[in-house]
A and B are shown apart, each in its own frame.
Chain A
Amino acid sequence: GAVVSQHPSWVICKSGTSVKIECRSLDFQATTMFWYRQFPKQSLMLMATSNEGSKATYEQGVEKDKFLINHASLTLSTLTVTSAHPEDSSFYICSATKTPGAYEQYFGPGTRLTVT
């Protein structure tokens, strides 16, 4: 199999604080990981692509200083939402591929962030 987990599954934080979301590939090494954001009743929007050991590539319009991505190992990527505000409340989903050009992305179960 190819299982991707995320932690936490849901989190509530106060406005102005930072929150970290972890994405792990449990039974394979992920050369590339992706972070998506999904607002209610909307589609997934790609935020950034990260490769192990290198800086993440952010999609146009995504603030790299606000959404810090670290891909320090082949099984772990983290997304830190800094100085969170209510408009950052969303469903954050990560995915991973086994090789850079792999056909399939394996998705995590998602993390629901609520900023109060």
Chain B
Amino acid sequence: DAKTTQPPSMDCAEGRAANLPCNHSTISGNEYVYWYRQIHSQGPQYIIHGLKNNETNEMASLIITEDRKSSTLILPHATLRDTAVYYCIVRVHSGTYKYIFGTGTRLKVLA
């Protein structure tokens, strides 16, 4: 079962910051949070990951709450090309490390 819950959809104005929330209240201490996005009929694209510290890269920022029960992905200046389904994923270890995908948030960036 998925360990994450996300809102099913969000809209964001072009040029504005997109803040995508994710709840992972059952996350264990050594489980990482990952964010990927999937543009229609393509394979998922890696965005960012973190354990407990906030992270930033050229694509986005990841803010993880101190209790690690939730996180927020921030796209600082959304463009039309950021329209996609965004998945918040917890990487679990069950024999091997594997991703358990949640239902994702369908982000629509509006012109």
Q: Does the CB pair A104–B43 fall under 8 Å?
A: no
Does B16 sit at the interface, judged by CB under 8 A? no
Q: How far apart sit A38 and B56, CA to CA, in the bound complex (Å)?
A: 29
Q: Does the CB pair A46–B43 fall under 8 Å?
A: no
Q: How far apart sit A3 and B95, CA to CA, in the bound complex (Å)?
A: 25
Q: How many inter-chain contacts with C-beta < 8 Å in the A-B complex?
A: 55
Q: Does the CB pair B97–A101 fall under 8 Å?
A: yes
Q: Which residue of B lies closest to A102 (CB)?
A: B97
Residues 26-69 of chain B: 1 if any A CB is under 8 Å from the residue's CB, otherwise 0?
A: 00000010001000011111100100000000000000000000
Does A67 sit at the interface, judged by CB under 8 A? no
Q: Does the CB pair A112–B41 fall under 8 Å?
A: yes
Q: Does the CB pair B32–A49 fall under 8 Å?
A: no
Which A residues are CB-close (under 8 A) to B2? 43
Per the CB 8 Å criterion, the residue count for chain B at the interface is 22
Within 8 A of B (CB), among A79-116: 91, 93, 95, 97, 100-110, 112
Does A75 sit at the interface, judged by CB under 8 A? no
Which A residues are CB-close (under 8 A) to B43? 4, 93, 95, 107-110
User: Which one of A42, A44, A106, A108 has the highest number of Cβ atoms from chain B below 10 Å of its Cβ?
Assistant: A44
Does A11 sit at the interface, judged by CB under 8 A? no
Q: Which residue of A lies closest to B91 (CB)?
A: A103
Q: How far apart sit A36 and B102, CA to CA, in the bound complex (Å)?
A: 13
Q: How far apart sit A43 and B103, CA to CA, in the bound complex (Å)?
A: 5
Q: How far apart sit A110 and B95, CA to CA, in the bound complex (Å)?
A: 25
Interfacial residues, chain A to chain B (CB-CB below 8 A): 4, 32, 34, 36, 42-46, 49, 51, 57, 91, 93, 95, 97, 100-110, 112
Q: A43-B2, A45-B101 are in contact. List 6 more A-B contacts (CB 8 A).
A: A43-B101, A46-B101, A91-B41, A93-B43, A102-B97, A107-B43
Could you list 9 examples of A-B contacts with CB < 8 Å? A43-B2, A44-B87, A91-B41, A95-B44, A101-B97, A103-B32, A106-B46, A107-B43, A108-B43
